[in-house]
Structure 1
Amino acid sequence: MADNKKVSAVSFFHSRFTSIISIALVLFLMGLIILMGLLGNKLSVYVKENMSFSIVLKDNVGDLDVKRMQKNLESLPYIKSTEYISKEQAARELEDELGENPENFLGFNPLQASIEVKLHSEYANPDSLKLIENKIKNYTSVSELLYRKDMMELVQHNMKRVGLVLLGLAAILMIISFVLISNTIRLLIYSKRFLIHTMRLVGATAGFIRRPFIWYNVVSGIIAAVLAICMLTAALYYLQAELTGFIQILDIPTLLIVYTAVLLLGILLSVLATIVSVNKYLRMSFDKLYYI
């Protein structure tokens, strides 16, 4: 008799542990989708504001003219920052890329001084840049403007696609998570189906029968949500270490929203799945209980 109780206890622990891990994995994926959705706009701003274009200067431009031009540019509402790159600095950067200084085999520095300009995100698109280009070209010290129009168009297009993909993934994952959690909880309730029928026979209401199952699975949902939050934190710590600049778009309020959403989803999905699962056995006749 003691052995049977021990086996039953082990089986119960194993089924609950499996249920919690399954729910935690689903909530972890949901948390990632929510996080990507919240960070999508910030990521778009970050990418756009780190895309720069070069104002190539004429050879006869002096340092005072450059400083005056930088000050004028930074006063414009659409320009976020500027950085002056001298001919010597440009040569050093090219040497780092090619492994050889161009002056060594040409006998002179063929590069021109330039100003690297970064725009505010709302202006970092091909249409706005065309207007900005026309205005900047009015400066007498400007030789030409260099920028990757195709890259800007690609970023603009991909950001829209990413938003739609994330929305679709969130909807699909929500359905999958509910079905998975529902099936997991249904397996746990399966062993109690005769108890549910007995409680119905003695006059217990549907709400009274559902209540202990709901509380039991709410606790499981909370434990699973805490595990999912721990996994999310570990994943974010890894991303922070691997991706330079990731920490700049991640803040505490965003994390709190994601963690709260994961916790609420763990409770909500567990409650809904429990109600659906228990209702199935409440509506089932006694004879059918033997054949499921």
Structure 2
Amino acid sequence: MSSSFDKFQKRRLISSYFSVVLSIFLVLFLLGLLGLFIINSNKLANDFKEKIAMTVFFENAAKDTTLVKFGKELKVAPYAKSMVYVTKEQAAKQHTDIIGEDFMTFLGENPLQNSYDIHLKADYVEKDSIAKIEAKLRENPMVSDIVYDKQLVNLVNDNIKKVSMWILIISGFLTFIAVLLINSSLRLSIHSNRFIIKTMQMVGATKAFIRKPFVTRSIKLGIMGAVLAILALIGVLLYVESKFPDLGILENKGLIGIVLLAVFGVGILITWLSTHFATQRFLNLRTDDLY
């Protein structure tokens, strides 16, 4: 009979530990995902900005030396990430491929112009910055026109600001929920041992001595949950990298390492604090209040 009861207690204890570890794992995993999203959201936003092209068209009278000189100036320009020179013949071929017929057969000539497609660095894809760049490029007398999607530039910047604000709000909210969930799980675990805590106190054990095994156990459970969360996060990173290699999600290894270390540290910190205050609460209760 005693053996059966011991087995029941052991299963109950294991079940309690498992639920705590699972709670810690899920919460830390979600926090880690949020952290990874935050560090990559800026990169994704910059990548999108840098795909917006500014096309500079040149007069037909522009000589090859003028075009080559302009290209060399772009290579050393601080605002240019990349640029592509498109001849009027290449532009005509691209248009023919798009519309499905050769428009020059009935026009008799190529009305298109030589141009440079410039992709700006993300920091310069702002309303004021891009306007200054446009004004500077127009100082070249051989530049006939400069075309880019001004509405898209404004829309992208406005939406990035809105998304960043909401990310901060959601991050704070989820962090608060995470602390509450882990704290609740550990408080329930400590609650089941409240009579043991009070018994130890009644026989003269100090508060520090009583707290130590509970804090140590909780920290171990926190480490287990954090390690599982880190492994799951690494798995997600590798999966996303294999499916979407163009995102370059593993390029920021330093920031990724900081997020993973933060997950590990939060797992230990929250479990330690929650257990400390939970045991302190039961230590300060009167025996009658335990019921």
Report what 1:103 is aligned to. 103
Q: Which amino acid aligns with 1:5?
A: D
Report what 1:266 is aligned to. 267
Report what 2:32 is aligned to. 31
Report what 2:144 is aligned to. 143
Q: Deviations over 1:51-72 (max 9, x none)?
A: 3211123334444432221112
Offset of residue 178 of structure 1: 1.0
Structure 1 alignment gaps of length 5 or more = none
Report what 2:58 is aligned to. 57
Q: Deviations over 1:175-200 (max 9, x none)?
A: 11111001111222222110001011
Measured at CA, do residues 251 and 96 of structure 1 come closer, stay the same or move farther in structure 2, by a change above 3 Å?
farther
Offset of residue 150 of structure 1: 1.5
- SS of equivalent residue, structure 1 residue 204: coil
| Mapped pair 1:177 → 2:178 | yes
Q: Which amino acid aligns with 1:37?
A: I
Report what 1:121 is aligned to. 122
Offset of residue 122 of structure 1: 2.5
Q: Deviations over 1:139-198 (max 9, x none)?
A: 233221111111111222222223222221221112111110011112222221100010
TM-score normalised according to structure 2 size: 0.89
Report what 1:243 is aligned to. 244
Measured at CA, do residues 218 and 125 of structure 1 come closer, stay the same or move farther in structure 2, by a change above 3 Å?
same
- SS of equivalent residue, structure 2 residue 176: helix
- SS of equivalent residue, structure 1 residue 112: coil
- SS of equivalent residue, structure 2 residue 116: strand
Contact kept in structure 2, 1:33 and 1:169, CA below 8 Å: no
Q: Which amino acid aligns with 1:4?
A: F
Measured at CA, do residues 248 and 70 of structure 1 come closer, stay the same or move farther in structure 2, by a change above 3 Å?
farther
Contact kept in structure 1, 2:237 and 2:249, CA below 8 Å: no
Distance 2:12 2:94 in 1: 65
Offset of residue 259 of structure 1: 0.9
| Mapped pair 1:289 → 2:290 | yes
Report what 2:208 is aligned to. 207
TM-score normalised according to structure 1 size: 0.89
Report what 1:78 is aligned to. 79
Structure 2 alignment gaps of length 5 or more = none
Offset of residue 107 of structure 1: 5.5
- SS of equivalent residue, structure 1 residue 250: coil
Which deviates further from its counterpart, 204-213 or 280-289? 280-289
